[in-house]
Amino acid sequence: MSTESEKLARDFMENEKQFHLGFLPTEQSNPLTRNLDKEFAKSSRDGVKNLQSVDRNVLAMAKRVFASDAFRKLTETGCDVIRKGGRIVFSGCGATGRLSILLECMWRRSCAENPAATKYADHVFSIMTGGDYALVRSVEFFEDYQSFGRRQVQDLGLKEGDMLVAITEGGETSSVLGTVFESVERGLKVFLLFNNPADLLAEHLERSRKAIRDPRVCVLDLSCGPMALAGSTRMQATTSEQLVAGGALETIMDTLLGRPGRDYASEFETLLNLLESEESRSAIAAYIDFEADIYRRHGLVTYFSGEYLLDVFTDTTERSPTFMLPPFRKKDDTVSPRPWAFVKNPLLDTEDVWKTGMNRPLRCLEWSLEDYVALGAPDSVRTNPPAIRKTELLKFEVGRENPADRAVTGNDAAVLITAGSADDAAVEEAFRKIDAPFTFRKKIVIGAGEGDFRIPAQMESGSIHLMIHMAVKLVLNTISTGVMTVLGRVTGNWMSWVDVSNKKLIDRAIRLISEIGGLSYEESCLRLFEGIEETAKTRKASDEKVSIVQYVLNKGIRPDGK
């Protein structure tokens, strides 16, 4: 290997130990799904059953947390803040950043639908590391810098009287903790939600310890064990955070409107029972087989939806770093490979999709080069600042424009997803009228209604429709993970095609090489950085990115590590 690669590898091992996270339960293999790839090899239905088994751990956590003083404080403080004219701001990064945006938009949609709640619309906001652009495409390495999170708090003008609800799956994401530290210093009411044992985090990670042991921060420990797919915190970790944070938000809305509270643990148990029914499992498994077959034929899948479009985004965007799939591409990009899956609203143009879906203006980062220098950004960012402004986000045609760009291989599928929203009929009519040569047109129904794949998980709609959003999330998580497992992008229950787009993912990739290849952490790290250098020399812009983990493993590592 080159001297430069070895230097980078040694630097990561010696100077980035705060990102060596293999001790965290969320980064470990869950014994329930250790043979996930083999279960899917038997049948997709067996695989679905195996995947779903881990969601029961979220239920156990929910029963504990919803009965806790910390949850009561979260809801009571939220009501008090809004009544006094303050703002509740959710903060997250990656999957939790998309969740933060979704929570804000769920609130704003409820306020738009209910005249009695209209006055509360501008009392809930979100901070997504990388801004709204990161909802559609991951912004590499932003999560590694506390200064970026601090700056986004400053940009939003948060002050005493406001409230921050920071959400980080592992409890250690630097940018999210940056929003915590800045908010504490500004006198906000601060809550911190995460999915690893608080004592373990405080023992090992200084940045986590600083937040957890600050008496001004109210901690909600949502730990529920390892993920069904090892390290994939978009699954049970974000499920538990959506359930708890969403339950708090819906409770706040109900309290402000004088409505009775709900038993969210019980409702979540009902949802799990519905999704584990024979009919639901069979429908999910059948769809997994359908989508996997599209990809085997080198076809593309385009999801169409209306009200639940943001929910679909939170799953499809995350597939790129998790399974090394081509990310969404912009309309003026004719070189990068088309994404395997894309998301569109068949009823509206792109700009109106965002206006309608968010019920607020887009909030993208408009930072200058000088800003990045002041924030201590790495040289890679200073020399090539990311294109994440609003004008760049609007280049992703997520509306009804140009559907033919997604029907080019002769094996492409248009898939409508409905979950019982008010705009279903109009969206379905627009879906039928799409003028593009899709080979397949299918409909997934979550809840009541008829479709090619019907998942009878109909839930009562609360004031912000939380449990319906939970149903959509659980179904899509199962589908996307199942499809990738069927296609061989999961080994055991490890995401063996993971990207290395930030320091946490670099550590995860090293541990994957060590686990699968039987190497030490040191040797795996050296081989990873060597692989990064080698693949960068040969990759063209039109090529799909190479999985560095697979590249290293395929260079001849035997189970004995030689």
Among 453, 486, 519, where does a domain finish? 486
User: Is there a single domain that holds both residue 201 and residue 309?
Assistant: no
The pLDDT of residue 236? 96
User: Is there a single domain that holds both residue 399 and residue 502?
Assistant: no
- Looking at the domain assignment, is residue 38 inside a domain? no
Residue-wise pLDDT tens digits, 151-202: 999 999 999 999 999 999 889 999 999 999 999 999 999 999 999 999 999 9
Secondary structure (3-state) at 127: strand
The pLDDT of residue 18? 85
- Looking at the domain assignment, is residue 49 inside a domain? no
- Looking at the domain assignment, is residue 40 inside a domain? no
User: Is there a single domain that holds both residue 167 and residue 286?
Assistant: no
Three-state SS string over 296-329 comes to: HCCCCEEEECCCCHHHHHHHHHHHHHHHCCCCCC
User: Is there a single domain that holds both residue 245 and residue 160?
Assistant: yes
- Looking at the domain assignment, is residue 350 inside a domain? yes
User: Is there a single domain that holds both residue 194 and residue 71?
Assistant: yes
Beta-bridged to residue 160, according to DSSP, are 162
- Sheet architecture: strand order including 163-167: 124-128, 88-92, 163-167, 189-194, 217-221
Residue spans of the chain under pLDDT 50: 558-562
Secondary structure (3-state) at 130: coil
User: Is there a single domain that holds both residue 301 and residue 152?
Assistant: no
> CATH number, domain at 224?
3.40.50.10490
Question: What predicted TM-score, i.e. pTM, was given to this entire model?
Answer: 0.93
User: Is there a single domain that holds both residue 546 and residue 477?
Assistant: no
Secondary structure (3-state) at 161: coil
- Looking at the domain assignment, is residue 412 inside a domain? yes
User: Is there a single domain that holds both residue 431 and residue 405?
Assistant: yes
The pLDDT of residue 461? 86
- CB distance 460 to 266 below 8 Å: no
Residue-wise pLDDT tens digits, 91-133: 999 999 999 999 999 999 999 999 999 999 999 999 999 999 9
Give long-range contacts, CB 8 A cutoff, 24+ apart: 400-403: 400/344, 400/345, 400/346, 400/347, 400/348, 400/349, 400/430, 400/434, 401/331, 401/349, 401/350, 402/331, 403/302, 403/344, 403/346, 403/434, 403/435, 403/436, 403/438
- Rounded to whole angstroms, how far apart are CA atoms 526 and 7? 9
- Looking at the domain assignment, is residue 244 inside a domain? yes
Among 191, 226, 261, where does a domain finish? 261
The pLDDT of residue 538? 83
User: Is there a single domain that holds both residue 62 and residue 205?
Assistant: yes
Among 261, 276, 293, where does a domain finish? 261
- Rounded to whole angstroms, how far apart are CA atoms 138 and 130? 8
Angle among Cα 57, 63, 68 to the nearest 5 degrees reads 125
User: Is there a single domain that holds both residue 510 and residue 465?
Assistant: no
- Looking at the domain assignment, is residue 179 inside a domain? yes
User: Is there a single domain that holds both residue 151 and residue 278?
Assistant: no
CA proximity to 393, closest of 92, 130, 109: 130
- CB distance 96 to 238 below 8 Å: yes
The pLDDT of residue 540? 78
Copy the structure tokens of residue 109.
Answer: 């949609």
Give the list of residues 6+ apart from residue 425 with CB closer than 8 angstroms, or none.
Answer: none
- Looking at the domain assignment, is residue 369 inside a domain? yes
- Domain containing residue 288: 267-486
User: Is there a single domain that holds both residue 278 and residue 254?
Assistant: no
Domain count, the chain: 3
